[in-house]
Amino acid sequence: MKIEGKTALVAVGGNSLIKTGERGTIDEQFRNALETSRNILKMVKKGWNVVITHGNGPQVGAALIRSERASKEVYPHSLDVCVATTQSEIGYLLQKAFYEEIHKSGLKNAVTVVPTMVVVDPNDPAFQNPTKPIGPFYDRKTAEERRKNLGWEIVEDANRGWRRVVPSPEPLNIIEIEIIEKLVSEGVITIALGGGGIPIYFEQDRIVGCEAVIDKDRSSALLAEKLKVDLFLISTATDYVYLNYKMKNRIPLKQITASEAIKYHEEGHFPEGSMGPKIEAVIRYLRNGGKYAIITSYEYIEEALEGRAGTIILP
């Protein structure tokens, strides 16, 4: 099935900037950002207006570690400020990569980064139940030491190791939505909602930041809904969504409906630390009027639009 439309939200996964086995140096991240931007620009060449969101799990964890370890030397950063910092850091790398690739391709599109605040409920139960993994993976012994000595909440994540977890409240509203909408409608390649957005709430007329990290897929679904995009595309580590993932009898899903996605999710095919949040985000988008969603690796974006790769999910 060929996907047609004009506006797309592309949610870039962490694997697009820090791949498995990499340390995550700035040079590594920029090299990966170049590959990511090169593939997204294939959409722009076909006439798509795009807004790009991105995760920040490894980066925000690193920012928090730097802040904590240097707290006796310099002023520390709260978690909302760490999210803001990584929005700028990752946004800069992506923006620089897009400029370089735009110049090579002969396109004329402008590209910009929009630091984005997202409203949450300060009484959200998530603040009492941290679930969002951030930072590097640890072996179990090291993780237990960090939990005991530093007071971290720790969980096993995606069968790759143990990670620190922090609160992840539900995104309710996006402060910069009108700015983002205007930029995208004018063909500006817009990088927004980094790391799920800076979590804030209002105390009368005052903005208050929260010690939390919002899930990127959930907030991306909210942005896709508010922008009424034609396509919600999630870039992740696999070419397809699979049943029985990582098993010998795994089955790639090429085209399914939201109802089928719900059924497979309820059967346990999409784990919480892996494909689960992405499937849930797609279902939210489709239930609220979305047209199409695709889940695939960024290398296959062009093929996915032609119906030759990726998992297409329909209402």
The residue annotated as part of the active site, out of 14, 55, 91, 197, is 14
Q: In the structure encoding, which two tokens stand for residue 256, read together?
A: 């399914």
User: What is the DSSP track for 214-239?
Assistant: --HHHHHHHHHHHHT-SEEEEE-SSS
**Calpha distance 80→226 (Å, rounded):** 23
| 216 classed as catalytic | yes
**For the chain, the helix, strand and coil percentages under 3-state DSSP, each to the nearest 5:** 40, 25, 35
The residue annotated as part of the active site, out of 15, 39, 49, 56, is 15
The residue annotated as part of the active site, out of 49, 216, 290, 310, is 216
Nearest in space to 16 (alpha carbons), one of 1, 34, 4, 43: 34
**Exposed (0-12), middle (13-18) or buried (19+): which is 99, by Cβ within 10 Å?**
middle
The residue annotated as part of the active site, out of 57, 91, 278, 290, is 278
| 15 classed as catalytic | yes
The residue annotated as part of the active site, out of 49, 91, 132, 290, is 132
**Calpha distance 256→183 (Å, rounded):** 32
Indicate the pairing of strand 206-209 with strand 255-257: unpaired
| 14 classed as catalytic | yes
Sign, CA dihedral 284-236-292-11, equals: positive
**Calpha distance 194→88 (Å, rounded):** 8
Indicate the pairing of strand 292-296 with strand 255-257: unpaired
Identity (one letter) of the amino acid at 313? I
Residues catalogued as catalytic: 14-15, 132, 216, 278
